[in-house]
Amino acid sequence: MSSIVVRTLSERVFEIVREQIVTGRLATDLPIRQDALAAQLGVSKIPLREALGRLEQEGLLVSQANRGYFIHPMSADQADEIYAMRLAIEPAAAAHAALVADDADRAEAEAALDRLDRAFGSDLGEMAVRNRDFHTAMVRPGKRPLTTQMVERLSILAERYVIAHLQPAGRESRAHQEHRALLDLWLARDAAGLEAMLAQHIAATLTDLRQQFAAA
């Protein structure tokens, strides 16, 4: 029973620390002080170490010998890699899922977009998670577990970039319109239209990010 409790606690710590990374509340140029972070979260170092190990596997942290964990810095190169992989996998996967989704899948995709819309303009971490949930909801009904896992993992890596992308004025409104149009195509089982628009949606985000990195 104790191992179950530790695992459940580790999962919660994982979510909290991931949100702190995504929203920029942890410094990127300093090692994570595990004692201080464990005290802040009110947990022992055991679930924290488990959570940090998972975050390293997800690509959000890197470990250095005798120095500990550091946040993997955001970069134009990493954005290029993440979004290139999303382009290679996600549009075709969502198009396939649209053709085989049942009524429960379709209701969940609608609910995922509603949760995303309600998160806009509020908590950045919540917004990033809901964006990931929406994109995954259009892929999961395809019943291709490896593909779904890849899309979800890439979406986790993209969360910091999603937040950075949405910061300029007007981006949230554009994102809402594009997400609504994507879901309408998905619900209509328009696989070809959905695949083309989702590829355009992902590519346009990458173009914006490249411009932001160049300006910075």
Whole-model pTM? Answer: 0.84
In angstroms, the CA 211 to CA 7 distance is 41
Contact 23, 159 (CB under 8 A): no
Least confident of 21-25, 67-71, 191-195, 197-201: 21-25
- Average pLDDT of 46-65? 89
Most confidently predicted of 34-43, 57-66, 124-133, 195-204: 195-204
> What average pLDDT is seen over the chain?
90
- Average pLDDT of 137-142? 98
Question: How deeply is 40 buried, as exposed, middle or buried, from its count of CB atoms within 10 A (0-12, 13-18, 19+)?
Answer: exposed
Q: Facing residues of 64 across strands? A: 68
- Average pLDDT of 88-107? 98
- Average pLDDT of 42-66? 89
CA distances to 95, 109, 190 from 182, rounded to whole Å, are 10, 11, 10
- Average pLDDT of 72-92? 95
Question: Which of 208, 105, 115, 199 is CA-nearest to residue 163?
Answer: 208
Question: Which of 98, 109, 104 is CA-nearest to residue 190?
Answer: 98
Q: Facing residues of 68 across strands? A: 64
Domains within the chain, CATH numbers bracketed: 2-71 (1.10.10.10), 76-215 (1.20.120.530)
CA distances to 10, 41, 134 from 142, rounded to whole Å, are 30, 38, 14
Both tokens assigned to 134: 């929406």
- Average pLDDT of 13-41? 87
